[in-house]
Amino acid sequence: MRAWTAPDLPTLDGSGGRLRVHDTALDELVDVEPDNNEARFYVCGITPYDATHLGHANTYVAYDLMYRALADCGHRVVYTQNVTDVDDPLLERAEQTGVDWEELAEDQVSLFRDDMTALRVLPPQHYVGAVEAIPSVVELIESLRLTGAIYQVDDPDYPDWYFEVRRAPGFGRLAKLSDSEALAIFGERGGDPERRGKKDPLDCLVWRMARPGEPSWESRLGRGRPGWHIECTAIALQHLGAAFDVQGGGSDLVFPHHEMCAAEGAMATRQPFAKAYVHSGMVGLHGEKMSKSRGNLVLVSRLRASGADPMAIRLGLLARHYRTDWEWTADSLREAQRRLDRWRDAVARPSAPPAEPLVAALRTALRTDLDAPAALSAMDAWADAPGNDPDAAASAAQAIDALLGVRL
Ligand code: 5CA
Ligand code: ZN
């Protein structure tokens, strides 16, 4: 699938150093130490309906900071992101609204691309839809079958294929839930603990046999379509290989999604799936998580259409640390616009304080678990201080562009 247009990424002098991020599995900051200086990361992409709300935008801006920090450390970056362009929620929405599911997905991906471009989010090198990944999904299920961890439920109509999650080395280490918590969350987030014939209620669907009226594809497993978790596992392994540096997404994906991906990946490769698991916080509105099902969405495209500067939207998101849960309000945008104006005035000055200490502070902030609020404070202080360096303003603007993705 085509990604979107890349913004310029200026290279700053004096790269090197390393990024530390919070790993959900260990619940502590860990160094990202890419093999052969090549940083490989995977971020779970959208299910294309009701895109792009500010929760999505917050998540992709967070990983965009990660991309920028890794590139600034001097690593080559390989970034893969999926699009869940066939799955129950998408099909349900298409059915409810009487739209063809493929058209719905295509329109929403196109809107998402425009929003990402406007927000100056760096595109992944591999932008892969579930539908186009079906051959790798089937291949992965086939290789898992060789381990004996794949079975069909005993259902004469729909003998769907499942993965025995508890056979995987390390299953449960990511989310660290009790059995009852795991079961409850599994049921709420797309799982089917009640499905008859499963060996364990937590086993996850990997191939759903064709139902009347649902899209399906011919395969060695029978006609059907991929389950959700195996989609991301297959796409990540195909484009990044095993033991890649970071799997990312919002905190709503820790369980079951990332736990299941980690289990499938570890079982198939006998290596860790990812070296670290990073999760962004949830953005809410009016006291609830922003989500399609609740319908409490602020869409980036609507804000843009109403005249909001995309760089102000981006600054509004960066004002909160990526791991915190927070609420978007109209004030978030107003404050961000004021900050943007202040920064633009500051870089239009004929002389300013030297840029080197600012660049060093921005780097330290980002390399310490992508601390955007600390980076914003450093720039605020620079913008307020007088100085007599005639080259500083251009250097500061370039660093803000390269590291924070904000074009002044
Ligand atoms: N297609 C799957 C991942 S494979 C999916 O979760 N799609 S999504 O459209 O529901 O979400 C896309 C990304 O945005 C995910 O990383 C999800 O964790 C994140 N996300 C969803 N809602 C919010 C929110 N309210 N705040 C922050 N991030 C969110
Ligand atoms: Zn995913």
Q: Which residues surround ligand 2, an ion (CB under 5 A)?
A: 44, 232
- Residue with CA closest to ligand 1 atom 11: 46
Tell how far the Cα of 314 is from the centroid of ligand 2, in angstroms.
Answer: 23
**Where residue 292 falls among pLDDT bands split at 50, 70, 90?**
low
Mean pLDDT confidence for 88-106:
95
What's the pLDDT tens digit per position in 374-398?
999 999 999 999 999 999 999 999 9
Q: Which atom from ligand 1 is nearest to the alpha carbon of 283?
A: 26
Is residue 297 pLDDT above 90, yes or no?
no
Q: What is the mean pLDDT of the chain?
A: 96
H/E element holding 250? strand 244-250
Is residue 285 pLDDT above 80, yes or no?
no
Q: Nearest 5°: CA angle at 341, between 57 and 407?
A: 50
| Residues 312 and 284: beta-carbon distance below 8 Å | no
* Ligand 1 probe mutation, 108, 109, 119, 252, most atoms within 8 A of CB: 252
SS3 of 38-62 = EEEEEECCCCCCCCCEHHHHHHHHH
The torsion angles phi and psi of 197, rounded to 5 degrees, stand at 95, -5
Q: Strand order of the sheet with strand 150-152?
A: 150-152, 161-163, 204-209, 224-226
Alpha-helical segments (H) within 41-165: 54-72, 88-97, 101-118, 134-145
The torsion angles phi and psi of 119, rounded to 5 degrees, stand at -85, 5
Compute the distance between CA of residue 236 and CA of residue 230 in angstroms, rounded to an integer: 10
**Where residue 179 falls among pLDDT bands split at 50, 70, 90?**
very high
Q: How is residue 128 written in tokens?
A: 């892969």
Is residue 287 pLDDT above 90, yes or no?
no
Closest CA to 220 of 152, 318, 165: 152
**Where residue 273 falls among pLDDT bands split at 50, 70, 90?**
very high
- Report pLDDT for 336: 98
SS3 264: helix
Q: Tell me which ligand sits closest to the C-alpha of residue 254.
A: 1
- Report pLDDT for 293: 64
* Ligand 1 probe mutation, 42, 59, 232, 322, most atoms within 8 A of CB: 59
Tell how far the Cα of 350 is from the centroid of ligand 1, in angstroms.
Answer: 43
Tell how far the Cα of 249 is from the centroid of ligand 1, in angstroms.
Answer: 7
- Report pLDDT for 284: 86
DSSP count for the chain of H helices, then E strands: 13, 14
What's the pLDDT tens digit per position in 193-224?
999 999 999 999 999 999 999 999 999 999 99
Mean pLDDT confidence for 21-35:
98
Mean pLDDT confidence for 43-61:
96
- Report pLDDT for 330: 86
| Residues 85 and 131: beta-carbon distance below 8 Å | yes
- Report pLDDT for 16: 84
Q: Which atom from ligand 1 is nearest to the alpha carbon of 50?
A: 9
Tell how far the Cα of 308 is from the centroid of ligand 2, in angstroms.
Answer: 30
Maximum separation of any 2 CA atoms in the chain, in Å:
79
Tell how far the Cα of 383 is from the centroid of ligand 2, in angstroms.
Answer: 40
Is residue 62 pLDDT above 80, yes or no?
yes
Mean pLDDT confidence for 181-191:
96
Tell how far the Cα of 21 is from the centroid of ligand 2, in angstroms.
Answer: 19
- Residue with CA closest to ligand 1 atom 23: 55
Pairing of strands 150-152, 161-163: antiparallel
Q: Tell me which ligand sits closest to the C-alpha of residue 281.
A: 1
Compute the distance between CA of residue 216 and CA of residue 225 in angstroms, rounded to an integer: 5
Asked if the bond preceding 24 is cis, omega within 30° of 0, the reply is no
Lowest mean pLDDT among 9-18, 36-45, 317-326: 9-18
Mean pLDDT confidence for 107-111:
97
Q: Tell me which ligand sits closest to the C-alpha of residue 47.
A: 1
CA 275 from chain centre, in angstroms, equals 16
Residues touching ligand 1 (Cβ under 6 Å) are 44-47, 55-56, 58-59, 82, 84, 232, 249-250, 252-253, 280, 282-283, 289-291
336 CB-near residues (< 8 Å, 6+ apart): 312, 313, 314, 315, 316, 319
SS3 169: coil
* pTM check: above 0.85: yes
Structure letter (DSSP) for residue 152:
E
Is residue 331 pLDDT above 70, yes or no?
yes
SS3 of 200-244 = CCCCEEEEEECCCCCCCECCCCCCEEECHHHHHHHHHHHHHCCCE
105 CB-near residues (< 8 Å, 6+ apart): 48, 49, 83, 85, 86, 90, 129
**Where residue 295 falls among pLDDT bands split at 50, 70, 90?**
low
- Report pLDDT for 371: 98
Closest CA to 328 of 380, 289, 370: 289
Residue of higher predicted confidence among 69 and 286 = 69
Pairing of strands 126-129, 76-83: parallel
- Report pLDDT for 50: 87
